[in-house]
Each structure stands twice: as C-alpha cells, then as structure tokens.
Amino acid sequence: MFDMIKANARGTANHGWLSSRHTFSFGQYYNPRQIGFSDLRVINDDRVAPAQGFGRHPHSNMEIFSYVLEGALEHKDSMGTGSVIRPGDVQIMSAGTGVTHSEFNHSQSDPVHFLQIWIVPGVAGAAPRYQQHHFAPEEKRGRLRLILSPDGQDGSLEIRQDARVYAGLFDGEESASLTLPAGRYAYVHVARGKVELNGQTLGEGDGVRIRDADTLNFANGQDAEVLVFDLRPFELPQMP
C-alpha cells in the first residue's frame, strides 16, 4: 500500500534566515496524523541564508543525519568535530548519552539547502559518535546506493537502528529497483526533481509511506534525487 504525503501538505516555518518544510510534526508544527513512520521521526527540508544557522543546542538518543543538496553546511559539536558538508556528503551524528552541536551556512554569500533527518535509535545511552562520507554522483547515478546501514555494509555509514537508507539519481531512461525483505516497511522522499515510483509520478518534496510492497521501481526521472528508507514494520517511532 502506498500512502502519499504531498509536498504542499507539509508543515512550514519561516524565520527569515531559515525556510523549512516539515514532513512530520516538528517544532511549532503539529499534525497528529504526521508524527513519523516506523523509526523515521523527522524529515526537515531546510534552506538557510548565508552566514546564518542553528546555534549550539543539545540532543540525546537520536540518530541525526544531514544530506546537503546545494551549498555548504558547517558542523561543530561537543565531541570536538568540525567539518563542512557539501553535496554528495552524508553526515550522521549519533547523539547517544548527549551531545551539543551547531549547524551554520558555511558561505557568506550563497544559501545552503539540506535535509535534516532523525531516526530513533535501537539502543539508548550509547556513546555519542560522528561519521561523514562523500558518495560521488556516479555511485548514485541510475542506481540506489546504500548510504546508511546497521553494519556499515558496502562502505555505508553505520546507524544504531535496523534501518537502511539508499540515495539515487535518476534522469531520462535511468532506472533502478529495490527488493524489500518480507514484512518490511519503506519510505521514499523525493529531494528534488520528478520521478516515477511503480508507475506513479512523484515531485520534489513528495513522500510515500509504503507497506506490503515487494519491489520499488524508479524510472522516468527528471533531474531527480531520491532517498529510500528500508524500515521495521511499525507505524510510529518507539523510543528504546
């Protein structure tokens, strides 16, 4: 079963320096029908003005990853990590027992556009950690590249949950399929462009909850970039 969340149905926040679209309830946006899906809790589509950003603030017991679409995002945290995240980079911060961090637009002149995604961990109270890796466009072109997994399979980053995240780029005749293990749920988010999922056209910002599906087929993309989440069969996030 496919259950679509259209881009224009998402929550919005505009703080001048930040324009954000919330797939699931977040901050001042609350929708009782959109609390999350399986272990997926947050998908925020954020655009941050030059030299602006999120000041240092705390998190605990959450897997938080950033996926930059345009521009550059500067990260600093209480673990001593300092990095700049650019398109193709995937950053994941496992907050564990507690960490503080800041995320700022690294540029003084250009905006940054990125996805901030939270996944509930499978274990509470683990040691905080930080990971970052660059996945080149050719690794995702016309295919679904594993970028997050529980065990770091195929050079992916490790996440403390029974979840796998894939990224793909599709344009023209490029296509790819993903076979889901029996009984699994999935979620698809279109980061930009348009693409067909099992014959159904999805546009930028659209998302789809997927239950009782064997195979996901992506085709007929128009400068499309997608994220696919292979998830446990739970309706709502459950903290450990």
Give me the pLDDT at residue 112, please. Answer: 97
Mean pLDDT of the chain: 96
- % of the chain at pLDDT higher than 90: 98
Q: Under a CB-based contact definition with an 8 Å cutoff, are residues 115 and 191 in contact? A: yes
What are the strands, taking DSSP E only, across the chain?
A: 2-5, 11-14, 18-22, 40-48, 53-59, 63-70, 73-77, 82-85, 89-94, 99-105, 112-119, 129-134, 144-149, 157-158, 164-172, 176-179, 185-197, 200-202, 207-210, 215-231
Report residue 7: phi and psi, to 5°: -55, -40
* Per-residue pLDDT tens digits for 37-92: 999 999 999 999 999 999 999 999 999 999 999 999 999 999 999 999 999 999 99
Amino acid at 104: F
pTM, two decimals, is 0.97
User: What whole-number distance in Å separates Cα of residue 113 and Cα of residue 224?
Assistant: 15
Q: Where are the domains of the chain?
A: 2-231
Q: Which CATH number fits domain 2-231: 3.40.50.970, 1.10.1490.10, 2.60.120.10, 1.10.940.10?
A: 2.60.120.10
Degrees to nearest 5, angle at CA 188 with 201 and 229: 160
Q: How confident is the model at residue 101 (pLDDT cuts 50, 70, 90)?
A: very high
Model confidence band, residue 1 (pLDDT cutoffs 50, 70, 90): confident
For residue range 194-233, list pLDDT tens digits in order: 999 999 999 999 999 999 999 999 999 999 999 999 999 9
Cα dihedral 10/106/155/128 (nearest 10): -80
Q: Which pLDDT belongs to residue 5?
A: 96
189 vs 1, more confident:
189
- How many of the other CB atoms lie within 10 Å of CB of 34? 18
